[in-house]
């Protein structure tokens, strides 16, 4: 498949580098100084056991002249609309767009722009961060992608994507419940963001304090109610996984939203928490913990200068 990676940051950079290193037909669409940086230095992924650098094909939107088979969309929510403008010449009738974004509303945005069948559902799980040199730092072991048709059907393109990911030894799952998977990732991101931002640290530091675990459990319970009342109840096994992740003693786990907040960068507050708070308000659900975390991040956003607001990856 001809694959276009949109967003050469922490997520797209990692998965794209793995595909490129495996010799797949991958191009990276980027903006600004990221393009000459990729052309000159390639993509470096830094793991605890060492780093690898892969030469990659990077291009700008003006250089897109032919359609691709697959567009792997891995940008921050604030960069979605410009990214869709950028890929217009890369999308044909057969092109499928696999978004690895947080939240859920991006699916409708993609459909409105490119048609009902353009978007696949996708969930990317990887703990990475892009440093000042453009390198992708692995913060924890393990990375995988779940993807599927939003109606749950099995189509040939899913097997084509599986072949590409398998060649790159990327762990992956074709999911017949990908929409539910996306809602449950949103649940995880929201509960994790509220926990780390509101309580101020990695989960191991929080649970070490008296009532720390109880405070986290209250956050999980409050968040789960919103999803249940909105018609997308979180499955028991998903709640168990989130609870384990957010209450493990000694864990250094934090969310990307918390790390952006801590480093003084812009965050995806509206996509991860703001949309959920709006839903809770519409359903007349009291969510004091969600509201407090959302307001805290909005105050943070109001203090940022234009230079510190990062809308893409």
Q: What is the pLDDT along the chain (313 residues), one digit of tens a residue?
A: 999 999 999 999 999 999 999 999 999 999 999 999 999 999 999 998 899 999 999 999 999 989 999 999 999 888 999 999 999 999 999 999 999 999 999 999 999 999 999 999 999 999 899 998 999 999 888 899 999 999 999 999 999 999 999 999 999 999 999 999 999 999 999 999 999 999 999 999 999 999 999 999 999 999 999 999 999 999 999 999 999 999 999 999 999 899 999 999 999 999 999 999 999 999 999 999 999 999 999 999 999 865 444 444 4
User: At what angle are helices 288-302 and 178-199 packed, to 10 degrees?
Assistant: 70
Contact 48, 56 (CB under 8 A): no
Helix, strand, or coil (residue 122): strand
**Rounded CA gap, 197 and 252, in Å?**
14
Burial 72-82 (b: 16+ CB within 10 A, else e): bbbbbbbbbee
Nearest CA-CA partner of 125 in 219, 188, 44, 216: 188
- What tokens were used for 189? 């991101």
Nearest CA-CA partner of 151 in 172, 107, 121: 121
Residue with token string 């969310």: 255
What's the predicted TM-score (pTM) here? 0.90
| Alpha carbon of residue 162 to chain centroid | 20
Residues 6 or more apart whose Cβ sits within 8 Å of residue 193 = 255, 257, 258, 272, 273, 293
**Rounded CA gap, 300 and 293, in Å?**
11
Contact 70, 98 (CB under 8 A): yes
Contact 267, 190 (CB under 8 A): no
Residue with token string 């059907």: 153
């Amino acid at each position: 498949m001809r694959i276009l990676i949109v967003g050469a940051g922490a997520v797209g950079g990692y998965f794209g580098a793995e595909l490129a290193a495996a010799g797949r037909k991958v191009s990276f669409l980027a903006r600004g100084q990221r393009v000459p940086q990729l052309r000159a230095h390639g993509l470096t992924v830094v793991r605890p056991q060492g780093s690898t650098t892969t030469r990659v094909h990077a291009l700008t939107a003006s250089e897109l002249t032919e359609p691709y088979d697959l567009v792997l969309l891995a940008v921050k929510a604030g960069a979605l609309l410009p990214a869709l403008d950028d890929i217009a010449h890369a999308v044909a009738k057969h092109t499928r767009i696999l978004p690895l974004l947080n939240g859920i509303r991006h699916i409708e945005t993609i459909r409105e722009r490119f048609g009902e069948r353009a978007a696949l559902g996708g969930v990317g799980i990887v703990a990475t961060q892009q440093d000042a040199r453009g390198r992708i730092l692995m913060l924890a072991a393990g990375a995988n992608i779940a993807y599927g048709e939003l109606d749950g059907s099995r189509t040939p393109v899913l097997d084509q994507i599986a072949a590409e990911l398998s060649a790159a030894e990327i762990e992956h799952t074709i999911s017949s419940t990908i929409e539910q998977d996306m809602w449950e990732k949103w649940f995880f991101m929201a509960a994790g963001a509220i926990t780390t931002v509101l309580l101020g640290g990695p989960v191991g530091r929080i649970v070490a304090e008296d009532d720390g675990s109880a405070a986290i459990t209250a956050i999980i319970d409050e968040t789960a109610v919103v999803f249940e009342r909105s018609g997308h109840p979180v499955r028991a096994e998903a709640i168990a996984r989130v609870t384990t992740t957010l209450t493990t003693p000694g864990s250094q786990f934090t969310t990307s939203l918390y790390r952006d907040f801590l480093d003084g960068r812009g965050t995806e507050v509206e996509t991860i928490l703001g949309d959920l708070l709006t839903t809770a308000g519409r359903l007349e659900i009291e969510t004091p913990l969600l509201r407090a975390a959302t307001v805290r991040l909005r105050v943070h956003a109001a203090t940022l200068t234009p230079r510190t607001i990062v809308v893409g990856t």
